[in-house]
């Protein structure tokens, strides 16, 4: 049996399967977006390019409240927390590092 017959039999198994190009294109778009830097994702936007990460533990209620507030204000949780800390510093007449 020639090798081409084996290949033809193999490809025949996949006939009739949908190519589903829409889902493939959407996945490729998500993968491209995930590989972008923060600056590339938000060109010309008001969002700052973040270079430092800060992690902390909080109560589940606080996490839900911040997610809800950020969604209502149409901003990220990071933007929300940065603005809140800046406002608190202004209210307490404190100066921060660098800004």
pLDDT, residue 84, reads: 94
**Look-up: residue for tokens 């039999």?**
9
How many C-alpha atoms does 86 have within 13 Å on its Cβ side? 8
CA 23 to chain centre: 19
**DSSP assignment letter at 36:** S
pLDDT, residue 85, reads: 93
What number of other Cβ atoms are within 10 A of residue 48's Cβ? 13
pLDDT, residue 68, reads: 95
pLDDT, residue 46, reads: 59
What is the token pair recorded at 54?
Answer: 């800060």
- C-alpha span between 95 and 98 (Å, rounded): 9
User: Where on the phi/psi map is residue 93: left (φ > 0), alpha (ψ -120 to 50), or beta?
Assistant: left
Could you state, in chain order, the average pLDDT of each consecutive group of 10 residues for the chain (99 residues)? 64 67 83 76 65 90 95 89 93 72
């Amino acid at each position: 049996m020639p090798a081409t017959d084996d290949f033809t039999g193999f490809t025949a198994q996949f006939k009739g399967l949908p190519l589903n190009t829409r889902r493939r294109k959407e996945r490729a778009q998500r993968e491209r977006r995930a590989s972008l830097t923060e600056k590339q994702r938000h060109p010309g936007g008001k969002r700052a390019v973040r270079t430092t990460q800060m992690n902390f533990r909080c109560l589940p209620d606080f996490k839900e409240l911040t997610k809800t507030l950020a969604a209502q204000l149409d901003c990220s949780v990071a933007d929300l927390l940065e603005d809140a800390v800046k406002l608190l510093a202004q209210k307490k007449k404190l100066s921060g590092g660098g800004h």
